[in-house]
Copies of this chain bind each other. A is one copy, B any other.
Amino acid sequence: MPGNSEYQYNQFLPKTPSIGGTTGAGVDHVHCSFGFPNSELFLIKELAEAAKNATLSHGHLALHYPGGPGTWNIRQWIANRGRSRKIKSNPSDILITAGAGQAIDATARVLINPGDEVWVEAPSFFSALRAFEIAGAAVRAFPMDENGLQVDLVQEALEFATFNGGNLPKFIYVMPNFHNPGGVNLSVERRKQLSSLAIKYNFYILEDDAYADIHFNQGVLPAIYSFAPERVIYIGTFSKIIGPGIRLGWTIANSEILQYMRLFLLGSQTNPFMQEIIAGLLENIEFDKYLNDVNQRYVGQLDVMIHELGRYFGDEIKYNKPSGGFFLLVKFKEKVDVSALVALAEKKGVSVVNGKEFYLNGSDVNEIRLCFTYSSENQIRKGIERLAEAYKEMKHATANVEV
């Protein structure tokens, strides 16, 4: 009977559920896990006014099907903003997406045929790894150091593949600024080198720049896009600066790529109504001042986190202090059962993410990722204390076993 055979879903469906999103923990719980902004910084009043005004001014048009790459106002703002990273673009080079997530997914769908290679950094953003996997890509990872992706190793691999008839990548996915989870920046020299390789070996660079505006003590380096506009698909988002719930991001790329991406968006093109609201908001606030306030707050929270880590963990951990972004990647010098530590910390009232989520094959890496943006300074103090308690208990238990 055909009715008894097992139903066959898509062969690339992942076996494990996706991680991310809010958790249902109690009020006192400290969230240092996912990349949420601090709710206290949300521009609620300004946004409420913008929402009302945009509906009244643009409603009749914005309530219809968008049918295009996004509203003009918001793409114009993005084009202007890009200049701070040396990106020369016009609104016509920009496609609005539902956050960076949809941009990553659509790019994967446009570029990948099952079996194609995608090269990534190790570690890398878990949702991107998931999107490449779902598209059927063979993903290969390259190590990073304090200056980001080790582009020399990428070059060697490209040369080796060319010489030996191996597979070249369809694209290389990188986060050059305030890397998630690594917290480091790709040096300008390496940006140039990677761009040259993309041109020489005919692959795309998928440049995920979600955290560019969250910087604490410097400007932002020029985007990889600025060195090879034809070979780079640049992704930005309002999630980290206005709020993820509005689900608005953007892609800057050549017209061929944008045209193909739009085919995949079909009916799920991005909400023009929301775009007009945010364009109105951006017009009515002093964006750079607001951003400065946000970054002041975040660097304060980062300093508290680092201070508390020093107090409780001393020399037992190491990390690269980030100069922006949302995350601190902490490595334990001694071997720890990180899965057990994360579970115990959760019980004690603090969430952190197991570092293995950011690597292919999920092998244990003795790391955890801490988000310093969502929780207040006081919550962070509590959170690190709880993490330290969990860590001590585990070490103690292990020591007892060894005796």
What residues of B have a CB within 8 angstroms of the CB of A7 in the complex?
202
What residues of B have a CB within 8 angstroms of the CB of A9 in the complex?
110-111, 260
Instruction: Give Cα A64 to B269, complex, Å.
Output: 21
Binds B, one of A43-51, A145-153, A286-294: A43-51
What residues of B have a CB within 8 angstroms of the CB of A105 in the complex?
264, 266-268
Q: Which of A226-267 contact B (CB under 8 A)?
A: 239, 242-247, 259-260, 262-264, 266-267
Binds B, one of A74-82, A93-101, A306-314, A380-388: A93-101
Contact B247 A271 (CB under 8 A): yes
What residues of B have a CB within 8 angstroms of the CB of A162 in the complex?
2
What residues of B have a CB within 8 angstroms of the CB of A104 in the complex?
266-267
A217 within 8 A of B: no
Contact A267 B42 (CB under 8 A): no
Contact A48 B42 (CB under 8 A): no
Instruction: Give Cα A239 to B104, complex, Å.
Output: 26
A360 within 8 A of B: no
From A44, which residue of chain B is reached at the shortest CB distance?
Answer: B59
Contact B64 A244 (CB under 8 A): yes
**A65-B245 in contact given A266-B101, A266-B105 (Cβ < 8 Å):** yes
Q: Which of A107-126 contact B (CB under 8 A)?
A: 109-114
**A18-B266 in contact given A110-B10, A202-B3 (Cβ < 8 Å):** yes
What residues of B have a CB within 8 angstroms of the CB of A127 in the complex?
266-267
Binds B, one of A182-190, A272-280, A295-303, A320-328: A272-280
From A54, which residue of chain B is reached at the shortest CB distance?
Answer: B51
Instruction: Give Cα A26 to B162, complex, Å.
Output: 54
Instruction: Give Cα A127 to B263, complex, Å.
Output: 10
* Interface residue range, chain A: 35 or more
Q: How distant is A224 from chain B, measured CB to nearest CB, in Å?
A: 18
Q: How distant is A160 from chain B, measured CB to nearest CB, in Å?
A: 13
Instruction: State the oligomeric state as a number of copies.
Output: 2
Partner of A199, one of B3, B48, B112: B3
Contact B134 A264 (CB under 8 A): yes
What residues of B have a CB within 8 angstroms of the CB of A48 in the complex?
51-53, 55-56, 59
Contact B18 A39 (CB under 8 A): no
A361 within 8 A of B: no
* Interface 0/1 of A180-205, CB less than 8 Å to B: 00000000000000000001111000
**A262-B18 in contact given A10-B113, A99-B267, A267-B101 (Cβ < 8 Å):** yes
**A44-B56 in contact given A105-B266, A113-B8, A268-B98 (Cβ < 8 Å):** yes
Q: A66-B245, A101-B266, A247-B268 are in contact. List 13 more A-B contacts (CB 8 A).
A: A10-B110, A10-B111, A22-B68, A44-B55, A45-B56, A51-B55, A61-B245, A65-B239, A104-B266, A114-B114, A130-B263, A134-B263, A247-B271
7 pairs of residues in contact across A and B, judged by CB atoms under 8 Å: A18-B263, A51-B54, A98-B98, A98-B268, A101-B266, A114-B114, A134-B264
